[in-house]
Structure 1
Amino acid sequence: MTERWGWQPTAWLQDGLPTWRWRAAPAGLMTRRQMRAADLAPCGADPVAQVVCRRGRRWALLWDVADLGPKRIPSTAQLAALDRALAARRRCPTCSRDVGYCIPRSLGSCLDCHAPLTAAVHAAA
């Protein structure tokens, strides 16, 4: 720990990674959310440290900013394919209409087709 970030009296090793308490990590390290906000990606780099909060119940991995690269930008064909896939998940196989939400795989159909009597009672109320 001392050669990469200098002397860190508040850090300890946990699962082979230097670990700090919340808001005590040195500058130059980023979490996944911070990477997403900065349009960066790990690009195959492994996490170099972690932060722990809530008495060890919550933790976040940290990456060195120098190891990060730009996030990939999807092509228009990829975005179109994603739109088609999401539209297919919203279409009910029973009534063939777009219900506006993803059909639960456990039911296999929209809520109106799965329980028509319950839906009719709620629609009348």
Structure 2
Amino acid sequence: MARRIADLWDPKGERHDVPTYPWGLAPDGLATRDQLVAMGLRPRGGAVAQVMWFSRLSPEPRFARLYEIAKATPPKPRTPGQIASLAAAMRARRTCPECGEVKPYCLSTSLGVCTPCADGFTTAA
């Protein structure tokens, strides 16, 4: 089957069960989840359409769901407990279990320890 952009044009949703537009041709007022996040918004409600495009990575067309910008709202603010929990989780990801130092970077999961400990350059604590 030849790859044609015309195959992706389905604004009534007859072929793809949901209104479908080629990349860059979606009507105004619709955005992908990533575009909404860049605007500081979160989608509310289900996807109303999709955008499709062809990629060299896959023989099948790729797609992204589209949400109405008018229904999107700002995310809920995090509670102090959520902020403390996230800070503790990040501190745990940066703490080396071997030397106990809190590093300014997250430790590699493949090594399980900080780079100096993995290389054997640590001094006795």
TM-score normalised by the chain length of structure 1: 0.70
Alignment of 1:68-107 (within 5 A): 68-107=72-111
Identity of aligned pairs, percent?
Answer: 36
Which residue of structure 1 lines up, in the alignment, with residue 9 of structure 2? 11
Query: Structure 1 counterpart of 2:48, which letter?
Result: V
CA distance in 1, matches of 2:17, 2:99: 54
Deviates more, 1:87-96 or 1:63-72: 63-72
Can you give the 5+ residue segments of structure 1 that lack an aligned partner in the other structure? Answer: 1-9, 121-125
Matching residue of 2:22: 21
* 1:108 is the counterpart of 2:112: yes
Deviations 1:81-100 (A, max 9, x none): 21221111101000001222
- Contact persistence 2:43–2:68 (CA under 8 A): no
Counterpart of 2:5 in structure 1 is none
Question: Matches of 2:118 and 2:64 in 1, distance apart?
Answer: 41
Shift of 1:38: 2.6
Q: Measure, in 2, the Cα distance between the counterparts of 1:25 and 1:47.
A: 13
> RMSD in angstroms over aligned alpha carbons?
2.5
TM-score (norm 2): 0.70
CA shift at 1:58, angstroms? 4.4
Cα 1:101/1:15, change in 2 over 3 Å: farther
CA distance in 2 between counterparts of 1:21 and 1:35 reads 19
Consecutive unaligned residues in structure 2, runs of 5 or more: 1-7
CA distance in 1, matches of 2:21, 2:71: 20
Measure, in 1, the Cα distance between the counterparts of 2:17 and 2:76.
30
SS in 1 for 2:89: helix
More helix by share: 1
Tell me the distance in 1 between the aligned counterparts of 2:75 and 2:52: 26
Describe the SS at the equivalent of 1:61. strand
Q: Give the number of equivalent residue pairs.
A: 108
